Amino acid sequence: MVTLKELTTKKEMESFVKYPFTLYKNNKYWVPPIIKEELATFDKNENPAFENAEATFFGAYNETGEMVGRIAVIINWHEVNEQKIKKVRFGWFDFIDDIEVSKTLLEKAFEIGKSHGLEFAEGPMGFSNLDKVGVMTEGFDEIGTMATWYNYPYYQEHYKQLGFEIGKEYVENKFPFSNVDPKFFEKADKLIRARYELTPLNFKTTADILPHVDKMFDLFNSTYDVLSSFIPVSQKQKDYFKKKYIPFIDPEYVKFITDKEGNLVTFGIVLPSFSEALQKANGKLFPFGFIHLLKAKKNKTALFYLIGVHPKYQNKGVTAILFSEYYKTFKKKKIENCLRTPELASNVAVRQIWKNFNPTIYTRRTTFVKDID
């Protein structure tokens, strides 16, 4: 018998966050979050995503009172009211290999969605486009990243048994830095700089980056607003991400390209791989977790986290300038491997950007959808 409980207190939310630490104990591919940061994500007073969204958190318990599953049920009201997408989201969805557990948790998502007049459920996904997305369907023997969820192979079977269909498909690619031949972009770099009068901006300190961050998120909004279910980043969210993430990014891994008026036309954010450092930290920054994360800044694997191109400059080759700048930085830092965060499998334009690096798909993931009866 499975019992469902809504989790609201600090102690209960800690159990929600810590549940995967038990489920994936000794799994060498799972990358744990920092517990304090994960709790802040679910705090209405901390995370500005709650200005347009609401979330309810549940734990599933067996007859002995042991937690055997969890789920966050999310309604993004911007998506529902502005985009007219009558969807209830669910995320942070983990469970043992017991169909009664997964069914009980998902039925709660349907119940909440139905009570608000929504038409279908989709997940796993977070509050917005900057959150993690998708259940893994391939790549279970690859270490995860800080930007993705890891899950066991049986997850996808539960969705199928419960009548879900595939929603959006995503792929994650990787390539060795040795695949990068500068001849593919160096000539184009010079031509495009001259043709459009563009200038790259490189940074040495976090303080140099901060004045440009709001413009970066504005460009992010204009780059991705053509995608389905895209939710713009608000000013409060800009301030939140600026405070939460920018101080931890190596300034040399942030690249901006501006036009002659100083307007931002392209940006790139790359992170060193924190996966092994997060495994060593095991959810805690102190006393030693912070040291592991600092050491990871010298990691030889680079994760391409975000790239944005102004619509006016898309398909004009401006990423050649970006790659040229990253090539210099990666060569200096002796980068060995490059990873990319999940990208829509249907996004042909993105694949074209990377084709000369001969990337290989190493992980696939998908969201699952089901109509609310």
* Per-residue pLDDT, 229: 62
Task: Convert the pLDDT of each residue in 152-177 to its tens digit.
Answer: 999 999 999 999 999 999 999 999 99
Structure tokens at 167: 């929603």
Instruction: State how far the Cα of 3 lies from the Cα of 1, in Å rounded to an integer.
Output: 7
Residues 3-169, CATH architecture: 3-Layer(aba) Sandwich (3.40)
pLDDT for the residue 232: 82
How many Cβ atoms sit within 10 Å of the Cβ of residue 45? Answer: 7
Residue 43: the pLDDT is 96
Share above pLDDT 70 across residues of the chain, in percent, rounded to a whole number:
99
pLDDT in tens, 212-270: 889 998 988 888 776 666 778 888 888 888 887 787 789 999 999 999 999 999 999 99
| More confident site: 282 or 350 | 282
Check: CB of residue 245 under 8 Å from CB of residue 220: no
For residue 186, the model assigns a pLDDT of: 87
- pLDDT single digits (tens) 80-130: 998 899 999 999 999 999 999 999 999 999 999 999 999 999 999 999 878
> In angstroms, rounded to a whole number, what is the distance separating the alpha carbons of residues 158 and 23?
16
**pLDDT value at 194 more than 90:** yes
- Tell me which of 37-46, 55-64, 330-339, 344-353 is least confident: 344-353
Question: How far apart are the C-alpha atoms of 248 and 251, rounded to whole Å?
Answer: 9
Question: For position 190, what pLDDT does the model report?
Answer: 92
Average pLDDT on 326-333 reads 96
Quote the tokens at residue 353.
């950007």
Q: Which structure tokens are listed for 326? A: 């990253």
> Do the beta carbons of residue 368 and residue 151 sit within 8 Å?
no
Sign of CA dihedral 309, 254, 49, 59: positive
pLDDT score at 228: 60
How far is C-alpha 44 from the geometric centre of its chain's CA atoms?
20
Sign of torsion over alpha carbons 50, 364, 102, 276: negative
Residue 137 pLDDT greater than 80, yes or no: yes
Q: If you count them, how many residues does the chain have?
A: 373
Q: Is the pLDDT of residue 29 over 80?
A: yes
**175-364 architecture in CATH?**
3-Layer(aba) Sandwich (3.40)
Give pLDDT, residue 323: 95
Query: Residue written as tokens 């001259």?
Result: 194
Rg (CA), the chain: 21
Report the chain's terminal Cα–Cα distance, integer Å: 24
d(CA 266, CA 120): 36
* DSSP type of residue 129: T
Q: Which pTM was predicted? A: 0.93
Give the pLDDT of residue 225.
74
CATH 3.40.630.30 range(s) for the chain read 3-169, 175-364
Residue tagged 């830092």 (tokens): 333
Q: Which two tokens stand for residue 128?
A: 């917005």
User: Residue type for 210, please?
Assistant: L
Report the distance separating Cα 246 and Cα 251, nearest Å.
9
> Is the distance from CB of 62 to CB of 85 less than 8 angstroms?
no
- Cβ pair 38, 50 in contact under 8 A: no
